[in-house]
């Protein structure tokens, strides 16, 4: 049985364009692969807190001993890491806010990037400790940004997953969504075609 981890990061929830694209992909995958299990991690509404010093101390080992709150932080991190390790396929709904990824997604990654757990440093540089698996990112942009120096989300996503060992990261974009209805429909249709190709390749 295949298990999908779906990371939703739109502040519009299920109504966000990135969420709708990701959900359409997941539903089409389930239709082709009955019995597929989907684990949803809503990074906005179910919230992964942003880092503060106490959280960093729990996750990075800054403190010699952990208090109850820090133990809870570590337990959440362990659960997030296990969700990722248990997934055969990761689907990310990723809007772009102010040229970057949503801070909620960054907070999620801050809780899974743990030395000795998901990566380690070696004499030859960092080494990822998470087995490679497909990650499909459904990215929505209000304007046209792909390939521009200010669009940092693509590079960031590839870098962070690669850092922990996941290299099979591919994007389906819908751009120009806020320009006009015609441009929006054209972009979404292009994304639908690319979604079908992504499904066929799995």
Q: What pLDDT does 160 receive?
A: 96
pLDDT at 13: 92
Q: What is the token pair recorded at 112?
A: 């899974």
- State both tokens at 187: 């972009």
Helices 53-60 & 103-112 angle (0-180, nearest 10): 40
Q: What are phi and psi of 63, to 5 degrees?
A: -100, 145
The whole-angstrom distance between residue 106's C-alpha and the CA centroid of its chain comes to 9
24, two tokens: 């359409």
**pLDDT in the model for residue 92:** 98
Distance separating alpha carbons of residues 127 and 166, to the nearest angstrom: 11
pLDDT for position 47: 77
Q: What local confidence, expressed as pLDDT, does residue 64 receive?
A: 67
Position 70 scores a pLDDT of 87
pLDDT tens sequence across 30-71: 999 999 999 999 999 987 899 998 898 889 876 667 888 888
Q: Is 105 annotated as a binding residue?
A: no
| Positive or negative torsion for Cα 66, 69, 70, 72 | positive
Q: Which residue has the tokens 């806020």?
A: 178
Q: Is 180 annotated to bind ligand?
A: no
pLDDT of residue 141: 94
Q: Is 147 annotated as contributing to ligand binding?
A: no
Edge-to-edge strands, sheet with 37-42: 37-42, 3-8, 89-95, 135-140, 169-174
Q: What is the pTM of this model?
A: 0.93
- 138-152 confidence digits (pLDDT tens): 999 988 888 788 888
161 is in an annotated binding site: no
| Residue 178 is labelled as binding a ligand | no
Strands (E), 49-187: 89-95, 119-122, 125-128, 135-140, 169-174
Domains of the chain plus CATH, in order, are 3-201 (3.40.50.360)
Tell me: is residue 140 an annotated ligand-binding position: yes
Taking the C-alpha atoms of 186, 188, 189 and 190 in order, what is their torsion angle to the nearest 10 degrees?
90
Residue ranges of the chain with per-residue pLDDT less than 50 = none
Burial of 47 (0-12, 13-18, 19+ CB in 10 A): exposed
- Tell me: is residue 176 an annotated ligand-binding position: no
97 is in an annotated binding site: yes
Q: What is the pLDDT of residue 79?
A: 96
Give me the residues paired with residue 200 across strands.
none
């Amino acid at each position: 049985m295949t298990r999908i981890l779906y990371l939703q990061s739109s502040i519009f929830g299920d109504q966000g364009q990135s969420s709708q694209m990701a959900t359409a992909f997941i539903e089409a995958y389930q239709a082709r692969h009955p019995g597929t299990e989907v684990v949803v991690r809503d990074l906005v509404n179910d919230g992964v807190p942003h880092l503060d010093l106490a959280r960093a101390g729990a996750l990075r080992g800054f403190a010699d001993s952990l208090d109850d709150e820090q133990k809870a932080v570590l337990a959440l991190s362990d659960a997030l890491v296990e969700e990722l390790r248990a997934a055969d396929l990761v689907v990310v709904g990723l809007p772009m806010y102010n040229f970057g990824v949503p801070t909620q997604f960054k907070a999620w990654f801050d809780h899974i990037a743990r030395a000795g757990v998901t990566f380690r440093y070696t004499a030859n540089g960092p080494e990822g400790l998470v087995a490679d698996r497909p990650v499909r990112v459904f990215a929505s942009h209000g304007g046209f940004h792909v390939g521009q120096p200010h669009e940092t989300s693509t590079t960031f996503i590839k870098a962070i997953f690669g850092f922990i060992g996941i290299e099979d990261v591919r994007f389906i974009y819908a751009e120009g969504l806020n320009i006009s209805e015609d441009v929006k429909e054209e972009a979404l249709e292009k994304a639908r075609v690319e979604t079908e190709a992504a499904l066929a390749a799995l």
